[in-house]
Structure 1
């Protein structure tokens, strides 16, 4: 039976790179995203390699996620993998200057959207059983605070704890749960975070030799394709150029 993967946020960044990586191996793809034009273009491109089912979907909309899952073709009753990639950061200003709407959007997408997709697809993953995988996109921000990370970092800390707790609940089902935590990676993610400010985006990556979405997709491919008795609980990945800063100390003038 052909392996199948459901990828959220497949219209850019890690999600798009994962779709391409899994398509090369002949996995059937269910790809979702909010931007229909990009989604259809990707589906058309990859359909020459494998079966692709595109679903225009905003993971924040619980009713829409429910409809999407309920209407999946019978051939996807057993699902091999779920890649919970849809997520975003908005702004990097201090908490006291942030827009509460941005905070709501991050919580609704990074936490609630991941919850909806996971819970509604769990029966299909459990039906697949041994070797099925849930791969959640966390971040080093969930482990290591930095100025301006506030709610974004907190949502990724949720992803880590949710992943660990799922492992407990799914013991005995054969379903694996992994959390990958990327560091500095050059993608549209930062352009969204900075409100389309190209100059700020360019400055973020200048000379850094940052990770690329393809690096993360390759790592995710490896994690999901471990032997069925192996679970990669968590994997933190950063470019060599990035490290941890020392503790910040505010000093009086």
Structure 2
């Protein structure tokens, strides 16, 4: 009897020591250097507002961990509540997908210093931003030149400036469209179309990109949204 009770006690001890198996297909880890106390909210954009999918308390240790259930690769956001310290730099977007991802950043430059690894879509998004930032810089340079000339009371040909700005914007949109076509086998493709081109794309271009997507991407979260957006635009033009 004592042996049976002893065996039962050992079994109960083992069961109590076992940790509940994490649920989710994305294992997200990270570190926010310099953060001693605060709260992290992992969110995604729902139908009309942001929805929280996990809450992580930081108290002493700046490392964090989360298991998320990702049905389709999608843009998620880490929102940092610093407590008493207010900052506009409190939202960090990342392209979540199943597997293992890691986010390394700092408290002082939460968004600017972020290094995100483990997601192919995130890697492609980073590559896209590097080129896209050049178009943004060119447009800012043109605006700055215009303001300087106006301040110096130098005659400015507004039409010429507008044509140059329009040319830069067209190059920006064409690059986004070509990027989507070149990466038609990744969910980043429909996301770029929806977030960067949208109403500036013709229905013909939307249809071309939509048809170029691989079946897997076409059936993804953003792939379905692109098809929905295309159908709405096509219907509106036919009216």
TM-score with structure 2 setting the length: 0.31
Structure with more relative contact order (C-alpha pairs < 8 Å, separation 6 or more):
1
